[in-house]
Amino acid sequence: MLGGGKMKGDAVSGGSRNISPMVSFLLGAAVATVCVLFFMSASPGRSLVDVAAWSHNNGTAAQHHHLRSVADDLDAARNLTVVAAPAPAPVQAASPYGDLEEVLARAATADRTVIMTQINAAWTKPGSLLDLFFESFRTGEGGVARLLDHLVIVTMDPAAYAGCQLVHPHCYFLRTTGVDYRGEKFFMSKDYLEMMWGRNKFQQTILQLGYNFLFTDVDVMWFRDPFKHISMGADIAISSDVFMGDPYSLGNFPNGGFLFVRSCNKTIEFYRHWQAGRYRFFGKHEQDVFNLIKHEMTDRLGVAIQFLDTTYISGFCQLSRDLNKICTLHANCCVGLGAKLHDLRNVLDVWRNYTAAPVPDKRAGKFQWKVPGICIH
């Protein structure tokens, strides 16, 4: 009995020992589950990783690291700020004037004023008009040579452009069609008229680009600064073949070989009417048309026109004999390149002697032009 009782007790005791591991396992699993659910609720973004890690507790460390990397990449993608690529810079259309605007900008004064002349190959040969033109600046008085910094030379053919580039920094090749500009153009010939009206149209372009200009023929000798004789109130200042004494009288006879124009709406409109006058007064050159429309345009547009006094802005048509006052001298009223060259060389000879003389001799008026010449008288 005693032995049987012991066995019964042992059986009960053994049953308790058999149940205890099962209870321990279930309690452990429940605690683990509660911990996992708590952690997931606290960090929902990482639930995928933690569940995977818990479910594959026996997986390799490399697999565990890979899953975390994928989740981190997903989080980074959610938070990524997309930066748009910059739009390409707009392509600027080529200027219809080529490098004109660049040349003007380099040569212009602070108030956007340029000096312009126009040449072809015949005038760029050694000893020709361009050489005399430059010499007048170099031998001039009052610092007139500095004005060359603001001079734009407009060339009419490739040879003239190449020649210009050898001697001057501001050259522009005005490309045209229909006329061969390399040779001398005789007064009032068809090609001469095309050249003059083309020049007039080009001047209008300069105004439309917002630049004032002082146009000078290349057969104008520059001895002193002429700007001081151009009125601030003038929209247009033009030289005179014949000056009648009143600079604002429309009775004066103009010469377009020395012409200052301010860029403004009035002058641009004036040029439009001037260009239209080519067909309105067919066969006339631009200087004649200016003379024909000057009354009408001043009344309609209110353009102020100043006619420059030939005492200072002179020419062969009405010659100033006072070398102490003269600023420029134009070989106008003179036909033919040879005649112009002959008389202008004599002019420069007299001027060189004048500038080399003592001041009292200059003031005494001892120097006079060599007259008569072929054209000068």
- In three-state secondary structure terms, 324 is coil
Show Cβ contacts of residue 72 under 8 Å, excluding neighbours closer than 6 positions. Answer: none
Give tens-digit pLDDT for 124-146: 889 999 999 999 999 999 999 99
- In three-state secondary structure terms, 113 is strand
How does DSSP assign 33-69, residue by residue?
A: HHHHHHHHHH-GGGHHHHHHHHHTTTS-HHHHHHHHH
Pairing relationship of beta strands 212-216 and 236-242 according to DSSP bridges:
unpaired
- The owner of tokens 């630049």 is 211
H helices within the chain, ranges in order? 2-42, 47-55, 61-79, 100-107, 129-138, 158-167, 190-208, 265-280, 286-301, 337-356, 359-363
The predicted pLDDT at position 139 comes to: 97
| Separation of first and last alpha carbons in the chain | 171
- Give the number of other CB atoms < 10 A from CB of residue 283: 8
**How many Å apart are CA 203 and CA 270, to the nearest integer?**
12
Q: Which CATH architecture has domain 99-311?
A: Alpha-Beta Complex (3.90)
The predicted pLDDT at position 28 comes to: 53
Intervals of the chain under pLDDT 50: 1-19, 21-27, 29-32, 34-67, 70-71, 73-74, 76-78, 80-84
The predicted pLDDT at position 178 comes to: 65
Query: Are 268 and 207 a contacting pair, CB within 8 Å?
Result: yes
The predicted pLDDT at position 196 comes to: 84
Where are the chain's structural domains? Answer: 99-311
The predicted pLDDT at position 197 comes to: 83
The predicted pLDDT at position 192 comes to: 74
Show Cβ contacts of residue 350 under 8 Å, excluding neighbours closer than 6 positions. Answer: 323, 367, 368, 369, 370
- Give the number of other CB atoms < 10 A from CB of residue 196: 21
Of 144, 166, 145, nearest in space to 155 by CA = 166
- Give the number of other CB atoms < 10 A from CB of residue 70: 12
The predicted pLDDT at position 97 comes to: 76
How does DSSP assign 273-319, residue by residue?
A: HHHHHHHHTTT--HHHHHHHHHHHHHHHH---EEEPPTTTEEESSS-
Task: Quote the Cα angle for 225-97-264, to 5°.
Answer: 55
DSSP letter (8 states) at residue 194:
H
